[in-house]
Amino acid sequence: MKEKKGFSIDIYRKPTSTDVIIPNDSCYPREHKVAVIRYLHNRTILYQLAPERMQKEQDTVLQILNSNNYDTSILGALSTKKGHKRREEKTKWVKFTYIGRETRTITKIFKNTNLKVTFGTDNTIEKLLKTRHEHMRSKYENSGICPT
């Protein structure tokens, strides 16, 4: 929004979907429900909202939780939880091709650093579907020209 002193940030919600989240009494896994609450909470904190807009957003989140049968005290637990990362503190990841126990042994080095480890694989669909004889053809056979 444009104001007298410059621009300010606000969170927009479509009027038709303001209260739509996973209901607490649904059959979804608890992790999914907590992720929704964490998302709403983090969005309030990470955006640089003016104090009155932040309060408005917190009230909206409380209303959303209340209308979907959540215990609103869970927000307090998220607020006091240590290790909340601000936008400036981006996580750095290191990717390793997983080849077995050796990979786990090597990646233990990163356990006490600020780097997170992720594992990948060398088996891609492209490699699995590619026929082996394509690599063996000469460039002349592919073009239709036969060497004499």
**Considering the chain, what is the average pLDDT of its residues?**
77
At residue 141, the pLDDT reads 61
Query: Confidence band (pLDDT; 50, 70, 90) for 126?
Result: confident
Model pLDDT for residues 30-70, shown as the tens digit of each residue: 888 888 899 888 888 888 888 898 899 889 899 999 999 99
Angle at 14 between CA 10 and CA 18, to 5 degrees: 90
Percentage of the chain with pLDDT > 70?
Answer: 76
Q: What are the tokens at 98?
A: 């997983």
Count of other CB atoms within 10 angstroms of residue 64: 19
Domain map (residue ranges) of the chain: 2-80, 91-148
Calpha distance 85→41 (Å, rounded):
12
Residue-level pLDDT at 103: 83
Flag whether the pTM goes above 0.75.
Answer: no
